Structure 1
Amino acid sequence: MTQTNQQEIADKLGLSRATVSRCFTNHPGINPETRARVFELASKLGYNHMVMRGGKAGAKRSRLTFGVLVCTSEEEYHRLDYESPGRLLIKGISEYCQLSGVGMSVHFIDPAVQTVEDEAYAELFNTAGRHWSGLLLLYPFPSRVVVELALKYPCVSLVEQADARNLDCVDVNHYQGVGMVIDRLHGLGHRRVGFYSKAYAVEAGWALRRFGAYMERMTQIGLRMRSGDMINTHPSRMVGLEESFDLAAQRVREGVTAFVCAADHQAYDLIRALLKRGLRVPEDVSVTGFDGIHVPAGMPRLSTVCIPYRNIGYVASNRLSDLLGKRYGPAQHILLDGQMREGETVCAPKK
């Protein structure tokens, strides 16, 4: 099998080989977005600069290197219909690493892998992992994997992981963001507001936290919540995608005037599904999201909360750097506020 090299990466991205080489050596003249694109493709192709150009075995290394583990399938990460949040987070990580002279290597992890004893991790630890100073975790990981990784390396997660209270984390303030969305809907006159999410291969702690924020704010402003209006919010009552769309359409016909979706991609999928079922957004029902990704082609501009992805990536990298100097200090959870973005998917409910 032909080994991937920097020229192949350059050709696929339409860059010069010199630009790709400078990305791997933290050259100050490289745009962080370009550097992030190079690292993403390098990971996809199986190219690792530190392994390929590692020098003599046993050579002493003083340079910090961050391993960036992305727990998702490559197909999901690189899908073309939605902008990947992971890609935006990596831009912030790349920017920090470039300014601080830190190396980084990006690797995709199959969400189905439940332990670091799996051969997929063993191979990673024996190659790129030999050079990692610490890890940045993107997307939810299985709980056991998080515990095992934290025993091997200093770790900072860029999303609050399930059952990992002692893990350092930098994330968005879910409660502040969802609170803004519900206040906006309430101000427009909505009184029956549902919540919509979907099932994931790994439990989505972020979706549960946004649901918790929904329940808290609805209670605070005195709006009634009906269990049937909350779709895919409890692990024991999860349904498939098409069934969830059918349930949402049924609730709209029964009186729901707005749905708060746990994520933008969920909201866009729901809007398409409701339209196929004869329901218009926002004329028949308002729909909001949470993420702030770019609007997919042919879709309306979503009313949503914009997550400061780049800042999260940068702050998480800085926290990992601090953690390397004081590994056994108390864990920190740093939450950054999002911003409300008005769109075309919300209006006052029909009289």
Structure 2
Amino acid sequence: MTTRPRLADVAARAGVSMKTVSNVINDFQHVSPQMRARVQAAIDEIGYRPNLSARNLALGRAGMIALVVPQLDMPYFAALAGQVLEAAARSNWVVLIQQSGGDPTVERQALAGHFPQRMDGLILSSQRIGPAELRDRTDRTPLVMLGERHYQGTAQHVAIDNVAAAETAVRHLIELGRRRIAMIGSKPTDRRHPRLRGYRQALRAAGLPERADWIKPIRNNLGEEGERQMAELLAENPENPPDAVFCVTDWVALGVIRALQTRGLRVPEDVAVVGFDDIPYGRAATPTLTTISPDRSAIARMAVASLEEQMSALARGTTYEVSEELASFELIVRESTVGVSV
């Protein structure tokens, strides 16, 4: 049976103290580049791997953070979870991933720290939690909120500028000459919905009228919902249907395209369609889907970095000032708005 290499074995191979090896492993800044290279060479030669449990214990950490998202079977959240796993691994954290299903009870339990073991931090993408509940939170576990909801400075929030992203998507449609632009995914009375605000801003800037009956809500983030609402919109406007549709998610957009195609309308010749999230299925759809692509990697990095900063502030006994951190986004133009390139 092969004995697992120990810290003492690295020190002996490098001809340094165990303290020096520990300083290199923990990336202490005062170690010289020459000494760091010498110790790293010894680590590589004998195949030493740090004991993360012991290391976290020494640092006063549990070594685990929680990520709570509404639906793991949704491509956006699956991709985001993968990015969080990568970012957390660089900080020697294991990630417990939990699906809330949008259930407010599950989200509140997570917010209160109800997990099988102690967590160093929580990243929560919530559909139900609002500023009031965050203000009343008593659990001191570092927290980062994700998603398009606005938390009014009650918690660290990492997102993209959803208003600007939606405005960019609708402006793209306007620049293509579309003038009868519908939106699927919000109630017309929901003044807080950031993507609805962006849609409205783009219409106003172009001097285009807004029709409340062309703003359709969805019950769930599903393609079937997009298909149902698009079918209803077409039935209500048989003579003069929209010539473009902005959808709050790619799933919804794919359902919209199906409704259009099954009724003999061409995308984008008759109706152009834009989605939101840049899920992989949109790249393989027919036509491929124009969409807003959030920088999920940056969102994950910012969230994990914030947890580390909050932990450090707790250890020092200082206050961590929460803020709104914005990751970038990009409009990805594909066939659903500009057709097939020749």
**What is the TM-score with the length of structure 2 in the denominator?**
0.68
Structure 1 segments of 4 or more deviating over 6 A? 115-118
Alignment-mate amino acid for residue 305 of structure 1: I
Query: Counterpart of 2:275?
Result: 289
Checking the alignment, whether the CA contact within 8 Å between 1:93 and 1:313 is kept in structure 2 is yes
CA drift at 1:54: 8.3
Task: Return the alpha-carbon distance in structure 2 between the equivalents of residues 270 and 61 of structure 1.
Answer: 51
Match among 265, 268, 283 for residue 251 of structure 2: 265
Query: Counterpart of 2:260?
Result: 274
Checking the alignment, whether the CA contact within 8 Å between 2:65 and 2:122 is kept in structure 1 is yes
* Residue 230 (structure 2) pairs with residue 245 (structure 1): yes
Query: Counterpart of 1:209?
Result: 194
SS class of match (1:326): helix
Match among 73, 81, 94 for residue 78 of structure 1: 73
SS class of match (1:340): strand
* Residue 126 (structure 2) pairs with residue 135 (structure 1): no
Alignment-mate amino acid for residue 114 of structure 2: F
**What is the TM-score with the length of structure 1 in the denominator?**
0.67
With over 3 angstroms needed to count, the CA separation of the structure-2 counterparts of 1:252 and 1:168, relative to structure 1, is farther
SS class of match (2:88): helix
Checking the alignment, whether the CA contact within 8 Å between 2:227 and 2:252 is kept in structure 1 is no
Query: Counterpart of 2:89?
Result: 98
- Could you tell me which runs of 5 or more consecutive residues in structure 1 were left unpaired when the two chains were aligned: 1-52, 235-239
Seq. identity, %: 22
Alignment-mate amino acid for residue 195 of structure 1: M
Aligned residues: 274
CA drift at 1:97: 1.7
- Could you tell me which runs of 5 or more consecutive residues in structure 2 were left unpaired when the two chains were aligned: 1-51, 220-224
Task: Return the alpha-carbon distance in structure 1 between the equivalents of residues 136 and 65 of structure 2.
Answer: 11
CA drift at 1:154: 2.0
Task: Return the alpha-carbon distance in structure 2 between the equivalents of residues 171 and 252 of structure 1.
Answer: 39
Query: Counterpart of 1:19?
Result: none
Query: Counterpart of 1:30?
Result: none
Checking the alignment, whether the CA contact within 8 Å between 1:68 and 1:138 is kept in structure 2 is no
Task: Return the alpha-carbon distance in structure 2 between the equivalents of residues 219 and 198 of structure 1.
Answer: 18
CA RMSD of aligned residues (A): 3.6
Match among 301, 310, 317 for residue 288 of structure 2: 301
Query: Counterpart of 1:227?
Result: 212
Query: Counterpart of 1:323?
Result: 310
Task: Return the alpha-carbon distance in structure 2 between the equivalents of residues 126 and 137 of structure 1.
Answer: 13
Checking the alignment, whether the CA contact within 8 Å between 2:218 and 2:226 is kept in structure 1 is no
CA drift at 1:340: 1.3
With over 3 angstroms needed to count, the CA separation of the structure-2 counterparts of 1:189 and 1:117, relative to structure 1, is closer
Alignment-mate amino acid for residue 313 of structure 2: K
Task: Return the alpha-carbon distance in structure 2 between the equivalents of residues 149 and 104 of structure 1.
Answer: 26
Task: Return the alpha-carbon distance in structure 2 between the equivalents of residues 148 and 135 of structure 1.
Answer: 16
With over 3 angstroms needed to count, the CA separation of the structure-2 counterparts of 1:314 and 1:192, relative to structure 1, is same
Task: Return the alpha-carbon distance in structure 2 between the equivalents of residues 117 and 336 of structure 1.
Answer: 26
Task: Return the alpha-carbon distance in structure 1 between the equivalents of residues 156 and 289 of structure 2.
Answer: 32
Task: Return the alpha-carbon distance in structure 2 between the equivalents of residues 305 and 316 of structure 1.
Answer: 21
CA drift at 1:146: 5.5
Q: RCO (CA 8 Å, sep 6+): is it higher in 1 or 2?
A: 1
